[in-house]
Amino acid sequence: MKSPDDLFPSMSIAALRARYRAGSLTPAQLVDAIAARTSGDDPHHAWIRPLSRAEMMRYADALEGRDMDTLPLYGVPFAIKDNIDLAGIPTTAACPAYAYTPTASAAVVARLIAAGAIPIGKTNLDQFATGLSGQRSPHGACRNALDRRYASGGSSSGSAVSVALGLAAFSLGTDTAGSGRVPAAFHGLIGLKPTKGVLSTLGVVPACKSLDCVSIFARSASDAQCVFDAARGVTAEDPYAREFQPPQTSAPLATQASLRGVRFGVPRASQLEFFGDASYAHAFDAALTCLRAAGAELIEIDFEPFLATARLLYEGPWVAERLAAIREFVDTQPDALHPVIREIIGGAARWSAADAFAAFDRLAFLRMQAADVWQRIDAIVTPTSATTATVDELEADPIRVNSRFGYYTNFVNLLDLSALAVPAGVCTVGKHAGLPFGVTFVARAHEDAMLLDLARAWLDESNEIDKIDERAAVPTFAHDATAVRPGESHGRH
């Protein structure tokens, strides 16, 4: 009899579909294998509520007799951040006292299930999606899948870990300040932060409702594209939804998988910040060298309008929007909040309506300044995070260390931009040598497809990235502190 490990394919959508079509795997067999993995120990604290075998099997059984050609995600397993509703399964936002059981799935989840995808569980997160570390959860600090001494990144921590461990082909996160990009960088994954509103947030516990996005973690740009295409669409009841309207003019990579001639804006050297992390500084220099070698044009830009916008997110009245989202709960059960979350959200009451309008005026001015940059470039490239940190370092200084992760991410939604985190090899020097490094491509709203084209070209042009099928090799659970390090079980970079 085959063991569950024997049944596990490479966790890419193409590989799964090929095995289903060949008859060497069925959705029911895959569910059995996943259930065997998720029902055991969870040393990474990735899950809040994995689905049982019976719960997953209902979705697999619904695929029987269906035509694969009509279901782009036929039998593809995915994980869901536990601030996104799945019908019949509690949503907690990592706060047990807040839990409720929805009768309907979030709009984006319903679309993915309709496309044939199989949900496998609800994942751990920074409570109420407030944080970039993955440490602020009563279910335990979510540990990095590649090295459990390190932060997983957040707030969509468990969603990234589930894909990095090979349990899910893709996962859903949310991204208000970088929550769908930082965990991707820390795990060598693709992290798509789409244009606001093109993936409905109906059925998502709000963080900042006017800024929130549903994000996608995947192992390849092609998989992210497939999920994005299946998930997007306007939901009538969602006041923040918008139609995806890609530009009519051809994107730089519309007809060829090449970075030649693509104009990337790069912050001035004086505006780059790594907080003393030589590992990340060296890795970003190496990524820029790779872009130049691929024929891309690097154009220095004034990054100050973007940095000033980023500061508004947590140093301005948008923190009050986090309070507004859960104010009744905070007023009645303040002690149910994680201490760090209580400190952040509790301080939001100091902002007045006058403060908010002044901040809106400031943001309008910064948007005007930032808009000038786009006249000369096709995309911006930055590190995804300025640095990384161990769990111990985060626990010792949770707010300051966490804030460093958002240096290059916090401006994106306030400026209504799209962004894509992509792997960029590993750190080769310094204290983080051997850990993944990632860059982010940023573009204007509705240029998501162009970003995915850039990622495909980048992953093909860069000698640092192995082929997709090799990257999709499924690691087994390991219990030592340095399990599944880059270059070992994954065999990438």
How many residues in total does the chain contain?
Answer: 493
Residue 165 tokens, joined: 């461990």
Q: Could you confirm whether 179 is annotated as catalytic?
A: yes
Q: What secondary structure, in 3-state letters, does 13-67 show?
A: HHHHHHHHHHCCCCHHHHHHHHHHHHCCCCCCCCEEEECCHHHHHHHHHCCCCCC
Q: What is the dihedral of CA 376, 383, 198, 82, to 10 degrees?
A: -170
User: Which residue among 105, 159, 162, 179 is the active-site one?
Assistant: 179
d(CA 28, CA 34): 10
Residue 347 near residue 276 (C-beta atoms within 8 A): no
Say which DSSP state 199 is in.
B
d(CA 336, CA 338): 7
Angle, CA of 450, 452 and 454, to the nearest 5°: 70
Q: Could you confirm whether 215 is annotated as catalytic?
A: no
d(CA 298, CA 396): 38
Look at the block and give the residue holding tokens 């269906």: 66
Say which DSSP state 178 is in.
S
Q: How many other C-beta atoms can be found within 10 angstroms of the C-beta atom of residue 16?
A: 23
Residue 141 tokens, joined: 């600090």
Residue 176 near residue 206 (C-beta atoms within 8 A): no
Q: How many other C-beta atoms can be found within 10 angstroms of the C-beta atom of residue 432?
A: 23
d(CA 252, CA 451): 10
Strand (E) or helix (H) holding 341: helix 339-346
Residue 84 near residue 108 (C-beta atoms within 8 A): yes
User: Which residue among 10, 12, 81, 193 is the active-site one?
Assistant: 81
User: Which residue among 10, 105, 152, 155 is the active-site one?
Assistant: 155
Measured between alpha carbons, how far is residue 439 from residues 182, 273, 436, 442 in Å?
Answer: 10, 14, 10, 10
Residue 432 near residue 388 (C-beta atoms within 8 A): yes
Residue 146 tokens, joined: 């590649």
Look at the block and give the residue holding tokens 């199989």: 118
d(CA 196, CA 232): 11
Say which DSSP state 155 is in.
S
**Helix ranges, 418-490 (H):** 448-461, 468-471
Look at the block and give the residue holding tokens 């959200």: 345
Q: Could you confirm whether 250 is annotated as catalytic?
A: no
Torsion sign (Cα): 484, 472, 285, 410 = negative
Instruction: Cite the active site residues.
Output: 81, 155, 179
